[in-house]
Amino acid sequence: MYVLKDNWSTYWEGFLGTVELTVWASLLALVLGFLMASFRVAPVGSLRVFGTVWVTVLRNTPLTLLFFAVLLGLPRFGLVLPFQVFAVLALGCYTSAFICEALRSGINTVPKGQGEAARSLGMSFGQTLSLVVLPQAFRSVIPPVGSTLIALAKNSAIAGAFSVTELLGTYKTINELGYNIVWTFVWIAVGYLVITLAISALFHLLELKWGVAR
């Protein structure tokens, strides 16, 4: 316990950094994932192509490489932002590809007749998607979206290698002070466990309320 007690402020700062990264990147991933899923099923060919390219490129690009591209590449084009913002962009964009596919899978579970009935009533594509299809698809995508955001929380550990304050990066400071490295990592693992269990509990509640009964 003395490792945690003596370094509580360091652990707490890293924990809050990871929580902040997870929250903001999750919001960005959900927004972009919803947008790309809409593009993937849109009647406009160019939008479908854009959505497909977005998902294909990001799902097949290592996250570490994406971090290098965003945190080191964008400043070369004159876009200078705090590293934490760049980390949110990298994590959010990467995860949005997986959110998109989860949402698209949910959309495909909705019977085509639902959309056809909405269009026969004069609804536009946007109205059909937002008012008819997505509310039904949402019920079936709660578990996979929750799992994806749990993965995002763990992937945020990569940000520590790019001078972003987060939980895993605390081991460097604590190790330099001469503390037992094994217990240092044990308490880091406990911190990630708290975050992932909180996300899991949240989505479990959502599933109990709105999920598909099986």
pLDDT at 97: 94
Number of other CB atoms surrounding residue 22 within 10 Å:
24
Q: What is the pLDDT along the chain (214 residues), one digit of tens a residue?
A: 667 777 778 888 889 999 999 999 999 999 999 899 888 888 888 989 999 999 999 999 999 999 988 888 888 888 888 888 999 999 999 999 999 999 888 887 777 776 677 777 777 777 777 777 777 777 788 889 999 999 999 999 888 888 788 888 887 777 777 777 788 888 888 889 999 999 999 998 888 876 555 5
* CB proximity list for 210: less than 8 A, separation 6 or greater: 138, 139, 142
Task: Describe the crossing of helices 83-109 and 134-155 by its angle, rounded to 10 degrees.
Answer: 140
What is the pTM assigned to this prediction?
A: 0.86
Cβ pair 4, 15 in contact under 8 A: no
Q: What per-residue string of b and e applies to 85-98 under the rule 16 or more CB within 10 Å gives b? A: ebbbbbbbbbbbbb
Q: How far apart are CA 131 and CA 123, in angstroms?
A: 9
- DSSP 8-state assignment for residue 128: I
- Among residues 64, 149, 143, which one has the least CA distance to residue 106? 143
Q: How far apart are CA 210 and CA 92, in angstroms?
A: 25
Return the half-sphere exposure (C-beta side, CA atoms, 13 A cut-off) of residue 154: 11
Q: Residue 99 in 3-state DSSP?
A: helix
Terminal alpha carbon distance of the chain: 43
- Among residues 106, 105, 97, which one has the least CA distance to residue 33? 97
